[in-house]
Amino acid sequence: MHLPEFGGAALTVKRFRLQADKCAALAKQTHDEDSRERFLQLRQTYLHLAETEEQHQKLAGELSALAAESERKAAESP
């Protein structure tokens, strides 16, 4: 059993981090306190999404390694 590769996930993390940076920049530029707070909350959401995606990537890699090991052991046993 081979789990699918998630190459696009790295781009997703990068995109989330870029969006977070944009929100931070917009928060600095705005003069409206309510808007600033919304931009900062949105920034935190994007950072959380990036961290969650990174965790998913790590788990997918670990599952892939476990699946490969399991297949190897199954092939070696009589």
List the domain range (segments joined by +) for residue 37: 33-68
Number of domains, the chain: 1
- What's residue 7's pLDDT? 58
Q: What mean pLDDT do residues 70-74 have?
A: 85
Q: Is residue 6 domain-resident?
A: no
Across all residues in the chain, what is the average pLDDT? 88
Q: Is residue 48 domain-resident?
A: yes
For residues 32 and 62, what is the distance between their CA atoms, to the nearest angstrom? Answer: 45
Q: Is residue 49 domain-resident?
A: yes
Q: Is residue 2 domain-resident?
A: no
Q: Is residue 58 domain-resident?
A: yes
Q: Is residue 59 domain-resident?
A: yes
Residue 17 DSSP label: H
Decide if pLDDT at 6 tops 70. Answer: no
pTM comes to 0.73
CB atoms near residue 36 (< 10 Å): 15
